[in-house]
Chain A
Amino acid sequence: MRAPERRRDRLDHRRAWRVSVALLFCLSISAAALHTVLQGFGWWFQITGIVFAVLAAAGITRALGARSQGTRSPGRRAWLPTLVASAVLVTLITVFFASRSAFLFVIPTFESFAVFGDLAQAGSLAIANQAVPADVTLGISFLLAVGAGSLAILADLLAVTWRRPALAAIPIAVLLGIPTFVGIQLADVFVFVLSAVAWLVLLRAGEPFPQTSRAVGIGAVSVVVALLVPLALPTVDESTASGDAFGGYLASVNPVLSLGDELRRELPRTILTYSTLSDQPTYLRLVSLQNFLAETWEPDPPTIDRDNTPAAVGPPPGLEADIPVENETTWVDVNNLGSPWLPVPYPATDVSGLRGNWFWDADDLTFTSPDRVARGEEYRVSSLLVQPTPAQLDVANSTLPNPDDNYLDLPADLPGIIRSTAQRVTSSATSNYGRAVALQEYFRDGTFDYSETAPADFGYDSNGMKAIAQFLEAKSGYCIHFSSAMAIMARTLGIPSRVAVGFLPGEKQAETVEGRTSYRVTTQDVHAWPELYFDGIGWTRFEPTPGRGFVPTYADEATPGVPVPPVTTPTATPTPTPEPTNSATAAPIDPNDPAANSSTAAVSLGWLWTGLSLLGVILLLLLPAFIRGIQRALRLRRLARGFPAAQTGWKEVLQSMHDLGVDISPTATPREAAAAIADSARLGETDRVGLDSLRALVERQSFSRRRAESGLAHGAVPGGADDRVSDILDRVRRAFGWRRRIVAALAPRSIWSRLSLSRAD
């Protein structure tokens, strides 16, 4: 090896290291963009660690390979660092996530891959089930490790192996794009700017590498794409959040359908907090369902009466003056609820402090907004605590509030078990109130199990009449079954009923807010309960669900007239289900947790999942460019080996021209092709030298007697054949506009027309 070559080698290595360090810098900075969607900081160290390990593995392999080889050959073993880095990534993931199943704790076995599959699934589930910012579960952590490691490998491949540091913008853009994809408001401009700076540093670090403006252009475009593509896709913002936004179940046509899903969430998320001066917490009601169709309960279609402003809420339907009431005031702060109904205690008499336009409904005193969801509202509600005496209840009849109302409607083919059970359970009661209490007691006396999973497992996870019939036999279900069953049974007994959907009182917090007791309501507190109508008293809440909520004093058969201590969070539920479904087992989360209380708008389910899909789409779109890049790299490597095949370089030149949109007849002779290239690229005399010498070599190799002697490396231009071909390509590309070059790089035509090209051979 000659001295100048050795010097260039050293330079190459130093540069490669510099670029690697800059890559680590870039990727760790852009990974910080995820802080808007992930909780805590641990994940950042994890990502950075993985990226570091991968880049270091590639770099060390490169350095060792160069030393042991001792010859200048940028192309030779170009794939080795990538392979080693991939192996290191797999090993790391194995050690961290599946060491028990691995051979010697390090080498993944088939079982390990099964573990990986489970982890990936768990991760996607955790993503789907959480709102942002999400807790980093083991599954998410696994996905992060795999994703970050892969991006680091890609970045190393692009920036170091292919010597195009500018292209590292692609993995950077993917990282930056994830939060943007979840919601544009989650894009942290500061991180974007920092990443851009880091990228510029990377460009500087890789300076002696050929920084074709093409690569820089691609980098710039990637960043723009990372910003714009998520915007173009149907992202999940407030206007569309109702369908799948966390807490948004209540906005769907049938709010009940997804209620079970909410309850079965792995991790409870805070929906709202409220505080009150009362010593008793309150149920918060969103909506009432009064239309009992055979398959489900539905609310009335929302009708908005613009006169019904929160400033003057109408009187509770049916409540007469002689019923004792207490005035309650509740301050509600809704964090995270994509619902067009406002959570308020029933019956509310006044709501103040609302930002949006909310209107109440005279029949059920629910608050709806035509243009907003409840998320972000902070308001004060005045409400009544209706406390009829048992005597008043006992004498109360049950007639429809209005003759047209459908509170007694039942399908004609109602399963017999519902009616007969209702009759049997209430046979000893003498009044409608007595029957109602008997029904409630029937469900609460221990024969029924509270289970959020049993109905789903046995296929009756709905509140339609068939599901309720099954429920009455299986005696296992959760609030929607209990509330629906009681409401239907009440109707069979002639008591008008409806199902209210809302929240349990939630968990009492240690801290007080301005002297008021504070409660936190989470997804675990999503609830449904029946409301029965009694003349003169109005709509009255019952609580048939065992182990959930608390029974109103007026409806507590055991100790009539005696106030029942509020059971806000039952610590021991009589359910046999091992699921950590109740808030008792929920992770204690500080209500002042910045993440939980952050003003960051809640975004969608599956935010990271969609981010990963975006990554997949981007990678898929880049696949042709990737294949083309591999093809080019392989060819240049063969040339670097001194393989006497000028055709390899020639083919690369022709194909690059094809990518650039210059059609060279496949039947053209090398001379004709060279002339066409020089013509279309407007090459000057000096620019043509390389092209012509390559062309001459191609001719010599193809057609002369002495082709074996005429390797490309023997040409007049110093340097390896691969460098010469690269030089030709650079000179040719210069003649084309950046648009053509970007298109050529990102969407190489030759990939698609390969068939026709090979036919021309």
Chain B
Amino acid sequence: MAAATDTQLGDFHALSREIVRSVETVIDGKREAVELALTTVLAEGHLLIEDVPGVGKTMLARALARSIDCTVNRIQFTPDLLPSDITGVSVFNQGERVFEFKPGPVFANIVIGDEINRASPKTQSALLESMEEGQVSVDGTTYPLARPFTVVATQNPVEMEGTYPLPEAQRDRFMVRISMGYPDDAAELAMLQTRELSSPLDALTPVVSLEQLTGMIAMVRGIFVSQAVEQYAVSIAQDTRRDRELRLGASPRATLHLVRAAKARAALDGREFVLPDDIDALAVPVLGHRLIAAARVAGAGSAFQSNSVADIIHRIVAATPVPLGAGDRA
């Protein structure tokens, strides 16, 4: 694919600013989370938002979906949800005497999976398989999913009641995990005042068309990743596999996701090439939910492990030398 021109990059930048601004009318003071969410969408990844209830996980997902003019479906995961409630079912059409496929909610550009860890593992897998493959197979027939396709799943922390924690193999399919965190004083106050009158979500109108979004995604794919930066990402991934404080290191898919997300971040920053800084910034969001700390580190009673895992990632990133690529080495 040809390199993005500066004009295209400019357009990209403007559009992405629009999306962020739009989402921020709903989710105040969470610039980082919003940008990470957008990064994931642009990198064709799936987003896992993990936090305690009521901090706006779903709100973020919906605001993002609304800002883009595309099909959006929302699935509320419950323990009794069945796989076919997601993928859809083949129904016998008595009139025409044929089985007819009724597509499930997964057939949309953006699928919001609320409280994904409240569903049974069987149902979770149904969604996660379609996430990975971009298609759904029902009764021997394969139905392709919409393009672009992004799942924005929210989940409560695993220790909460009535949850089925996602197995690591399935967590690995999410490109980025973010946590919202509580809003600060000002944001919470502002929320109180606006929320009473009307839902700000209703006021949201799409700022980007599906076509534009497809173009943006294509542009992200065209962002240049130098060999040096690829090497840097690989070095970090390799180091997580060797690290003694980690029981499970990053998968090759994690490396792939890391570089893809970095491309999106570079594009959002108005650059046509990826910097090691992009990798650095995304290391924790991309790798954090995939790595498992060794038992002695995991202790500490922290809710997510992520504190310690994040620390380990920071340490690894800081210790990995940044190659300055081609050029003289004097």
Task: Write the residues of chain A forming the contact surface with B, with a CB cutoff of 8 angstroms.
Answer: 634-635, 638, 643-648, 650-651, 665-672, 698-707, 758, 760-761
Whether, in the assembled complex, B59 has its beta carbon less than 8 Å from a beta carbon of chain A, the answer is no
Tell me if B321 and A703 are in contact (CB < 8 A): no
Closest to A704 in B: B273
Tell me if B325 and A701 are in contact (CB < 8 A): yes
* Contacts A666-B321, A668-B322, A761-B323; A703 near B276 (Cβ below 8 A): yes
Kindly list chain A residues whose C-beta atoms are within 8 Å of the C-beta of B224. 703-705
What 0/1 pattern do residues 187 to 230 of B give for CB contact below 8 A with A? 00000000000000000000000000000000000001010110
The CA of A647 and the CA of B263, in the complex, are separated in Å by: 23
Kindly list chain B residues whose C-beta atoms are within 8 Å of the C-beta of A647. 324, 327-330
Counted as pairs of residues, one from A and one from B, with CB atoms less than 8 Å apart, the total is 83
Kindly list chain A residues whose C-beta atoms are within 8 Å of the C-beta of B324. 647, 650, 670, 698, 702, 761
The CA of A644 and the CA of B325, in the complex, are separated in Å by: 13
- 23 residue pairs bridging A and B, Cβ less than 8 Å apart: A634-B330, A638-B328, A647-B327, A647-B330, A648-B330, A650-B324, A651-B330, A667-B320, A669-B277, A670-B276, A670-B322, A670-B324, A671-B277, A700-B273, A703-B226, A703-B275, A703-B276, A703-B325, A704-B224, A705-B3, A705-B226, A707-B325, A761-B323
Whether, in the assembled complex, B295 has its beta carbon less than 8 Å from a beta carbon of chain A, the answer is no
Tell me if B322 and A704 are in contact (CB < 8 A): no
Tell me if B321 and A760 are in contact (CB < 8 A): yes
B11 CB, min distance to chain A CBs, angstroms = 19
A756 CB, min distance to chain B CBs, angstroms = 11
A755 CB, min distance to chain B CBs, angstroms = 14
Whether, in the assembled complex, B24 has its beta carbon less than 8 Å from a beta carbon of chain A, the answer is no
Tell me if B3 and A648 are in contact (CB < 8 A): no
Interface class of chain A by DSSP: helix
Tell me if B274 and A701 are in contact (CB < 8 A): no
The CA of A635 and the CA of B224, in the complex, are separated in Å by: 29
Whether, in the assembled complex, B186 has its beta carbon less than 8 Å from a beta carbon of chain A, the answer is no
Q: Other CB < 8 Å A-B pairs besides A638-B328, A705-B224, A761-B324, 19 of them?
A: A643-B328, A645-B328, A646-B327, A651-B330, A666-B321, A669-B276, A669-B280, A670-B275, A671-B275, A671-B277, A672-B280, A702-B323, A703-B228, A703-B229, A704-B226, A704-B271, A707-B327, A761-B321, A761-B329
Tell me if A703 and B273 are in contact (CB < 8 A): yes
Tell me if B330 and A638 are in contact (CB < 8 A): yes
* Contacts A667-B321, A702-B228, A704-B272; A672 near B327 (Cβ below 8 A): no
What 0/1 pattern do residues 289 to 330 of B give for CB contact below 8 A with A? 000000000000000000000000000001111111111111
Kindly list chain B residues whose C-beta atoms are within 8 Å of the C-beta of A644. 327
The CA of A758 and the CA of B3, in the complex, are separated in Å by: 33
Kindly list chain A residues whose C-beta atoms are within 8 Å of the C-beta of B323. 702, 761
Tell me if B329 and A669 are in contact (CB < 8 A): no
Contact partner of A667 (CB less than 8 A), chosen from B229, B319, B329, is: B319
The CA of A647 and the CA of B323, in the complex, are separated in Å by: 11
Closest to A643 in B: B328
The CA of A669 and the CA of B326, in the complex, are separated in Å by: 15
Tell me if A669 and B275 are in contact (CB < 8 A): yes
Kindly list chain B residues whose C-beta atoms are within 8 Å of the C-beta of A638. 328, 330
Kindly list chain B residues whose C-beta atoms are within 8 Å of the C-beta of A650. 324
A661 CB, min distance to chain B CBs, angstroms = 21
B window 228-276: CB within 8 A of A: 228-229, 271-276
Give the residue among B3, B272, B273, B319 with the most A Cβ atoms within 10 A: B273
Tell me if A705 and B273 are in contact (CB < 8 A): yes
Give the residue among B274, B276, B322, B326 with the most A Cβ atoms within 10 A: B322
Kindly list chain B residues whose C-beta atoms are within 8 Å of the C-beta of A634. 330
Kindly list chain A residues whose C-beta atoms are within 8 Å of the C-beta of B326. 701-702, 707
Closest to B222 in A: A705
The CA of A563 and the CA of B272, in the complex, are separated in Å by: 114
B269 CB, min distance to chain A CBs, angstroms = 11
Closest to B320 in A: A667
The CA of A760 and the CA of B327, in the complex, are separated in Å by: 15
The CA of A702 and the CA of B274, in the complex, are separated in Å by: 10
The CA of A606 and the CA of B327, in the complex, are separated in Å by: 53
Kindly list chain B residues whose C-beta atoms are within 8 Å of the C-beta of A665. 318
A76 CB, min distance to chain B CBs, angstroms = 16
B window 18-33: CB within 8 A of A: none
Closest to A761 in B: B329
A758 CB, min distance to chain B CBs, angstroms = 8
Tell me if B280 and A701 are in contact (CB < 8 A): no
Give the residue among B280, B321, B327 with the most A Cβ atoms within 10 A: B327
Tell me if B327 and A669 are in contact (CB < 8 A): no
Kindly list chain A residues whose C-beta atoms are within 8 Å of the C-beta of B322. 667-670
Closest to B232 in A: A669
Q: Return the 7 tightest CB-CB contacts between A and B, nearest first.
A: A702-B325, A704-B273, A705-B224, A645-B328, A669-B276, A703-B226, A647-B327
The CA of A54 and the CA of B282, in the complex, are separated in Å by: 60
What 0/1 pattern do residues 275 to 290 of B give for CB contact below 8 A with A? 1110010000000000
Kindly list chain B residues whose C-beta atoms are within 8 Å of the C-beta of A705. 3, 224, 226, 272-273
* Contacts A699-B275, A703-B276; A667 near B327 (Cβ below 8 A): no
Kindly list chain B residues whose C-beta atoms are within 8 Å of the C-beta of A707. 325-327
Contact partner of B327 (CB less than 8 A), chosen from A671, A702, A706, A758, is: A702
The CA of A647 and the CA of B324, in the complex, are separated in Å by: 8
Kindly list chain A residues whose C-beta atoms are within 8 Å of the C-beta of B229. 703
A25 CB, min distance to chain B CBs, angstroms = 37
Kindly list chain A residues whose C-beta atoms are within 8 Å of the C-beta of B328. 638, 643, 645, 647-648
Give the residue among A635, A644, A650, A668 with the most B Cβ atoms within 10 A: A668
Kindly list chain B residues whose C-beta atoms are within 8 Å of the C-beta of A758. 329
The CA of A645 and the CA of B3, in the complex, are separated in Å by: 23
The CA of A701 and the CA of B228, in the complex, are separated in Å by: 11
Kindly list chain B residues whose C-beta atoms are within 8 Å of the C-beta of A702. 226, 228, 323-327
The CA of A758 and the CA of B330, in the complex, are separated in Å by: 9
The CA of A597 and the CA of B226, in the complex, are separated in Å by: 80
The CA of A758 and the CA of B329, in the complex, are separated in Å by: 9
Closest to A666 in B: B321
The CA of A638 and the CA of B326, in the complex, are separated in Å by: 16
